Structure 1
Amino acid sequence: MRTRLSWRGVPAVLLLVAFAVSGTAHEVFATSAVSESPNYQMTESTFGSSSAEEACSGQYCAKATIGDMAVGQSASDNISANFGSLTPEEPTLEVIVEPGESNLGTLETNKTATKTMGIKVRSYLSNGYQLQIVGDPPKYGDHTLHAPAVPTASQPGTEQFGINLAANSTPNVGASPVQVPSTALSFGEAEPAYRTPNLFKFNSGDVVASSTKESGRTDYTVSMIINVSNKTPAGHFSGDFSAVVIPIF
């Protein structure tokens, strides 16, 4: 039994969430945004040994600093602090998805076909993010490949489509999330239903990974498996999948 299947592009989709914040905040700063006289102006002055600020003219910008006494990050369960030069005040969500189209060729009942997709996420000045995979299992005509609703081992000869974000050995595909630059600064992790090696499931829109606080970059590898059975109709199966990243504020 052979079935032809192609894998179409995986576009990066960033879901922008509008939000409003109200309330009263009590803050104490040892900085002054602008100090000026009739002839001089100083922007972002600070009490400390040094500072860094960006100056722009026309098409060029420069950031000047005389160094910092301390740099790095300190974090607890709910609060994180960055030490060093001045940093931008705008929340940032950075998402990089490997795009493209993959043709998995002819599928056979005694082999598992695999495909991986890389997703890199970084979150700054937020309370974290959620990563979803949205799409439908590969389909030909009216027939859609079966997707287990619970984590299930790969079973060649049994119709099956599933994903996970783990380093698998059966089949040998995928990798666990990688924290960049380190686990001290990056906190993204796969959700329990998608983190167990050699177990796969798929439900469109499931949150497959997340971070509960601002995080450095986490590199995720989404592993996809496809098995067909003797009852799977021969044809050209195809599917489209998108990565949706939702910031949390």
Structure 2
Amino acid sequence: MFHSRIRNKLVAAAAALIVFSPLTADAAGLTARSDVMGTSEAGISTTHIISMTTATAASIGSIGFLMCTTSSGACTVPSGLVTISATLSAQSGTGGTGFTLNATTNGAPYITRTAAAIAASVPLSYTLSNVTNPTATDTTFYIRITTYTGSDGATGATDTGQIAASTATPIQLTGVTPPILVFCVGTSIPTDCTSATGNTIDFGDFSPASTNIGTSVMQAQTNAANGYTITVNGTTLSSGTNTITAMSGAASTTGSSQFGLNLRVNTAPAVGADVTGPGSGVPVFNYASANNYRFNTGDVVASAALPTNANTFTTSYIVNIGGAQAAGVYTATMTYICTASF
């Protein structure tokens, strides 16, 4: 009686090992084995695209995917691994389709069908969805794959192979985009505001017989929800109490007292350039007409209505004088103010 009980226990133990260690001595080795995980983050539901190539031509009724903490021996299911909610969401391979998933036993899902032939050297792929990864991070676990002639995931092993997979700690990346307004003014901006140089325009000697010209450039970009406006601020050219008349919007006329500007490429005289860059900034209407010049301190000369990448604006200045213009050194300071609306 005592010996009988021992013998029964040994038989039960042997049966358990057959369920969880399905390898057989004469089973051939599956090749090209891989498991593409949807995520390696621990404890997260994911997909496993399990691929392999058959070694033996056989009539296959089931394929088991035993998930263990070790690659061989008695199988311990990794802590936190959940396969009972798994689904078979894709399957491919010549002769290797028509399966349904049996996920009744946690950690030991298998796919099953009425046995049908699969040739040797056939690539197969099966996607198991809704599998919860083990909860231990940075930890290797194994998928023991076995093909069976029987449909029960246990009978008639033909090919076997193991895949190592691992959970991993996700790297959290953080950063802050602050409110942005990048604005610069100069006589030259070859690339961006870090390259802006110059702050002086020398018109040379004025003459009633010709128009004096000059240019400056400015660049603006912002992530403000309502974009930006750029205003020009200053006074017209003056020497003591003598001034050159600020234009209210007119063409350049030699022999007349005129100081004005715009943000366009012009032909009369030939000066300036149109706005460049990938942004959405534009000159405003009073300063957006070619060959039409104006200056009024506080005017908006350019704007963007939305967040925008950089635009470079070229400001064209023209100066005309009459023959009676008083002699002297005429100067003015133009200050451009860019206001972003967040």
Question: Shorter-chain TM-score category?
Answer: 0.5 to 0.7
Partner of residue 144, structure 1: 243
Amino acid at match of 1:238: T
Partner of residue 90, structure 1: 178
- Between Structure 1 and Structure 2, the one with more helix by share is 2
Rounded to whole Å, the distance in 1 between the matches of 2:250 and 2:224 is 37
Deviation at 1:52, TM superposition (A): 8.2
1:107 matched to 2:200: no
Percent identical across equivalent pairs?
27
Rounded to whole Å, the distance in 2 between the matches of 1:158 and 1:124 is 43
Selected match of 2:173 from 48, 53, 57: 53
Deviation at 1:164, TM superposition (A): 0.2
Rounded to whole Å, the distance in 2 between the matches of 1:147 and 1:241 is 13
Rounded to whole Å, the distance in 1 between the matches of 2:172 and 2:276 is 31
Amino acid at match of 1:53: L
Partner of residue 158, structure 1: 256
Partner of residue 31, structure 1: none
Q: 1:227 and 1:52, CA in 2 relative to 1: closer, same or farther beyond 3 A?
A: farther
Amino acid at match of 1:122: Q
Q: Is the 8 A contact 1:165 1:195 kept in 2?
A: yes
Q: Secondary structure at the match of 2:226?
A: coil
Q: 1:104 and 1:214, CA in 2 relative to 1: closer, same or farther beyond 3 A?
A: same
1:122 matched to 2:215: no
Rounded to whole Å, the distance in 2 between the matches of 1:140 and 1:119 is 27
Partner of residue 234, structure 2: 135
Rounded to whole Å, the distance in 2 between the matches of 1:51 and 1:177 is 42
1:208 matched to 2:301: yes
Q: Is the 8 A contact 1:90 1:125 kept in 2?
A: no
The count of aligned residue pairs is 163
Q: Is the 8 A contact 1:136 1:241 kept in 2?
A: yes
1:199 matched to 2:292: yes
Amino acid at match of 2:243: T
Rounded to whole Å, the distance in 1 between the matches of 2:200 and 2:294 is 22
Rg larger for: 2
Q: Counterparts of 1:17-28 in structure 2 under 5 Å?
A: none
Rounded to whole Å, the distance in 1 between the matches of 2:305 and 2:176 is 21
Q: 1:106 and 1:211, CA in 2 relative to 1: closer, same or farther beyond 3 A?
A: same
Which protein has greater RCO, CA pairs closer than 8 Å, 6+ apart?
Answer: 1
Selected match of 1:173 from 264, 268, 271: 271
Rounded to whole Å, the distance in 2 between the matches of 1:53 and 1:173 is 49
Rounded to whole Å, the distance in 1 between the matches of 2:273 and 2:172 is 38
Q: Secondary structure at the match of 1:103?
A: coil
Q: Secondary structure at the match of 1:101?
A: coil
Deviations 1:201-231 (A, max 9, x none): 1001100000011000011001010000012
TM-score (norm 1): 0.62
Q: 1:52 and 1:200, CA in 2 relative to 1: closer, same or farther beyond 3 A?
A: farther
RMSD: 1.9
Unaligned runs of 5+ in 2: 1-136, 138-169, 187-197
Deviation at 1:189, TM superposition (A): 0.4
Deviations 1:82-119 (A, max 9, x none): xxxxx743110001211422322211111110110100
Unaligned runs of 5+ in 1: 1-39, 41-49, 55-86, 181-185
Deviations 1:61-92 (A, max 9, x none): xxxxxxxxxxxxxxxxxxxxxxxxxx743110
